[in-house]
Amino acid sequence: MRITLLCSDLRFESIQRIVPFLADELSRKEDFVVDLALLHGEGEFLSLHSSAVSVVSLDNPLHALRSGIPLLRLAHYFQKAKPDVVLSFGYTANCLAAMGKQLFHFFFRLIVSEPNMLELRKAEKSKFQRWRRAIPARFLYRNAELCVCASRGIARGLMALRVVPRRKIRVIYNPVDGPWVTARIAEPVKHPWFQTSEENKPPVIFCAGDPVHLKGMNVLLRAFSLLRDEMNFPARLMIVAEEGEDRKRLETLAEVMKLRDDICFLERGATSAYMAKAALMVLMSSHENFPSLLAEALACGVNVISAGNRQGPREILEDGKWGRLVPENNVDALAAALRETLESPMAPEILKKRAADFSMRRSFEEYCRAIQYVLNPHDERTSSWA
C-alpha cells in the first residue's frame, strides 16, 4: 500500500516538524510504501528522512505555487505513483491535492491537515482576502475523507466557515519533541548570561518571534521596565528576532527606557537551546493558531506566560492550568505575571507532564489511526474513532 505525504516544503514551520518523522515511522510498517512529495524541494528538515522514504521533489518555483504548474506536476506524479492514501499538510498542498483528486478522478483516500485558522485572516486583511482562502477551501476540502486540525480552536473555525463538516474533522496536535528539536535543546550556548557561576544571578526571560506588530514585544519591554524599576525585581530579557525596521525600533525603545544593559537581541538560530536554559518564556503573539514554541517550552520544563485571548495558547495551557494567561496589551497585568511566575515557578516535572500530550509518538499514533480509518471506515477497530 502506497502512502504519499504531500507538503509545500520542509522549512522550519510547525506542521513541517512531523512530516519527516511520520514518513520514517510509516515506512517501518511492512505493508506501507512511503513517498514524501514536496512542491518545492528545500528546507531545514529535508535531511531528516531515512533512506526507506522516497523523496519526490516536484521542483515548483516558489513564485509558481499559485499558478497551474504545480497542479499539473502533482497530477502527473499521482498518475504515475498511484497512491492509496494521500496525507497533505498545509493550505496550498491541501487545495492542490483535493483539486487533483476532483479534476482528474484519482481514487486515493485524502487526508488534509490544516495547521491554521482561516478566519484569522480577518484580523490582518480585508474581508475579501479572508474569503479568498475560505471559499476555495470550502469547495475543495469536501473531496477529503478527513480533515486533521492542529487544535480544537482551528476545528471550530473551519466548521464556522462551513469549510468542513464535524463528521470529517479530527484534532491532532502538532508535535514538539522531534529529534531535530531535541538536538537543538541539547546544544551548548556561549552567551555570558548562561555561563556565569554567580549564585544570585538575575533570571533570564526569553521571547522569540517577529517584533512589534504581531508579537507585541513593545508591550513586553514596558512590562519588563515596570518589573525591573518600579517592582525592583532584577531580571534580564532575551529577545530572538530577525533583523529589520521593527527590531531597530525595539532596540531604540530599549535605549530610551534605559534597559539596554539588561536586554539582549539575538539572531534566529538555536532558539530552543536558549529557551531551555531560561527561567521563563513569554509569548506575546495574538495571532497564533497553535504556538508550538509554547508547547516546546513546556517540554523543556520552562515556565510560560502567554498574552492574548486566542484559542491556541488557552488550549495548550488549559485556561491557565500550566502557565499564566494575561490580557493582550495590558502592561500592568504582564508585569505582575512576570513577577509572580519568577517568584513562584511551577516545577519542571509538572510542565513536562503536560508536554507529553504533544509528543511526536502520540501524534504519529493519531495519524496512523486516521489512515486506518479512511481505509476501513466500517471496521470495528476504527469506527470508535469516528
Q: Cell numbers of 134, please?
A: 475560505
* Predicted model pTM: 0.84
Q: How confident is the model at residue 12 (pLDDT cuts 50, 70, 90)?
A: low
Find all residues with CB under 8 Å of 148, minimum gap 6, and list them: 111, 112, 113, 114, 170, 171, 172, 367, 370
Find all residues with CB under 8 Å of 185, minimum gap 6, and list them: 272, 273, 276, 300
Higher pLDDT, 349 or 385: 349
Q: Cell numbers of 362, please?
A: 502520540
pLDDT at 222 over 60: yes
Q: Cell numbers of 21, please?
A: 518523522
Lowest-confidence segment of 25-34, 267-276, 312-321 by average pLDDT: 267-276
20, 80, 101, 224 from 65: Cα distances, Å: 22, 21, 18, 42
pLDDT at 147 over 90: yes
pLDDT value, residue 132: 74
Q: What is the pLDDT of residues 258-302, one digit of tens each?
A: 998 999 988 776 677 889 899 999 998 756 678 888 888 998 899
Mean pLDDT of 119-144: 71
What is the chain's mean pLDDT, rounded? 84
Higher pLDDT, 147 or 268: 147
Backbone φ, ψ for residue 240 (5° rounding): -100, 115
Find all residues with CB under 8 Å of 2, minimum gap 6, and list them: 32, 33, 34, 35, 81, 82, 83, 84, 85
